[in-house]
Amino acid sequence: MSENKIGTLTDNHVVSLDYTLRLNNGQVVDSSEGREPLEFIQGQGQIIPGLEKELYGMAINDEKKVIIPPGDAYGELEPDNFEWVERDAFPADMELTEGMGLRMRDSNTDQVMEAYVAEIGPEGVKLDFNHPLAGETLHFEVKITGLRDATSEELAHGHVHGPDGHHH
């Protein structure tokens, strides 16, 4: 009998992963259902560290439930990532509501950052620059649907190429 060339999941494998992500309250916040599986190269930090760690040793068709604390996922909710800005910082005719997402350009670094309106008060607008899943414990259900060695080109580029060798 010939040995399975791929065997179990190690670094530099291209992994195809079906997944469902739930929060503590059971709410589904992300899923590959009805879409292509997630594809990434194992060992390159392309997915959150807590999940990557749990995938080592799995084989095709293996399924697993994984619970990941915030520290191994999107981090804790940092008080420093909240910032009050004056209402005047936004166009007067712009409607602001709590919970809405904004794209803000940092005038110092010129980087575009995602923020959420956490609170609107007389002092101004409180913006939340935390990742939307910061502070959340993540409950993943995963299934390995594909496993192969990454090509040297994929390893050099640091991302997965399509079946025809082209970029996605």
Site for Zn ion in 5-64 (CB under 5 A): none
Residue with nearest beta carbon to Zn ion? 157
Q: How far is the CB of 160 from Zn ion (least distance, A)?
A: 8
Q: How far is the CB of 158 from Zn ion (least distance, A)?
A: 8
94 or 156: CB nearest Zn ion: 156
Contact status, residue 12 vs residue 149, Cβ threshold 8 Å: yes
**Any residues with CB less than 8 A from the CB of 3 and at least 6 apart, and which?**
none
Among 22, 103, 157, 166, binds Zn ion (CB under 5 A): 157
What is the torsional sign of CA 151, 157, 159, 165?
A: negative
126 or 161: CB nearest Zn ion: 161
Q: What does the DSSP assignment read for 38-51? A: EEEETTTT-S-HHH
Residue numbers of the site for Zn ion (CB under 5 A)?
Answer: 157
